[in-house]
Amino acid sequence: MSSGRQEQFTQRHESLWQHFEQVLDYRALPRRKRKGEETPESLDLPTAYRQICQHYALANSRMYSPVLVERLNRLVVRGHQALYGSRSQFLKSILTFFASEFPALVRKEWRVMAIASALFYLPFFVMIGLIQFIPELVYSVLDAENVRSMESMYDPSNDVIGRERGSDSDLLMFGYYIRNNTGIGFQVFAGGMLYGLGTLFFLLFNGVVIGAVAGHLTQLGFIETFWGFVLGHGAFELTAIVISGAAGLKLAMALIAPGRKSRIKALIDNGKIGIKIMYGAATLFIIAAFVEAFWSSMVLPVGIKYSVAAFFWALVVAYFWFAGRGYHHAA
Q: Is 330 exposed, middle or buried (0-12, 13-18, 19+ CB in 10 A)?
A: exposed
The CA radius of gyration of the chain, in Å to the nearest whole number, is: 29
Which of 105, 106, 183 has its CA nearest to residue 191? 183
The reported pTM is: 0.74
Name the amino acid, one letter, at 119. Answer: L
Contact 103, 325 (CB under 8 A): no
Distance CA 59, CA 64 (A): 5
Distance of CA 148 to the CA centre of its chain: 35
Distance CA 211, CA 202 (A): 14
Q: Phi first, then psi: what are they for 178, rounded to 5°?
A: -60, -50
Distance CA 101, CA 269 (A): 17
Domain limits, the chain: 2-95, 109-322
**pLDDT tens for each residue of the chain, 331 residues long:** 467 889 899 999 999 999 999 988 888 777 666 666 677 888 888 889 999 999 999 999 888 998 999 999 999 999 888 887 666 667 778 888 999 999 999 999 999 999 999 999 999 999 999 999 999 999 999 999 999 988 988 888 776 665 554 445 667 777 878 888 889 999 999 999 999 999 999 999 999 999 999 999 999 999 999 999 999 999 999 999 999 999 999 999 999 999 888 999 999 999 999 999 999 999 999 999 999 988 888 888 999 999 999 999 999 999 999 998 877 654 4
H or E stretch including 258?
Answer: none
Phi-psi sector, 324: left (phi>0), alpha (psi -120 to 50), beta: left
